[in-house]
Amino acid sequence: MILANMTKRQQYINLFASAVFISLILFLAGVDPLWYIVPGLVLLAGLLSGAARKAVLWIWLKFSHLLGMVNSTIILFLIYFLIITPYATLFRKKVAVNYVLRKPRHGASLFRERNHLVAKEDFEKSW
């Protein structure tokens, strides 16, 4: 368990950071100032009770894990579709290094016939 590896000081720091983070989110969302009491109560419960601190930290760590999975998925999606896809499209349109994959002229086939016996040398440097 992650909490077992944390010292008491690290648990207090994580609890305080989570309460501050929740308060910041509530402030930026423009929530009624009465709701600022909730992070304060969570912080107070965590400072006074070890079981409450472990429960709050467990919930916070699960939330941060879920948030990390969602963020990484969104970031990878954006990188793929905003950077890699346009680059690949431009590469195919403009550079076209592999001439074999271009459209054949006059209805010719892309099939390349190889009529030779397999020899020992074919396996020596396969790459």
Q: Examine the pLDDT at 1 and tell me if it is beyond 50.
A: no
Tell me the per-residue pLDDT of 26-40, one tens digit each, with 9 for 90 and over. Answer: 777 877 777 777 777
The pTM score is 0.44
Residues 78, 81, 84, 88, Cα dihedral to 10°: -170
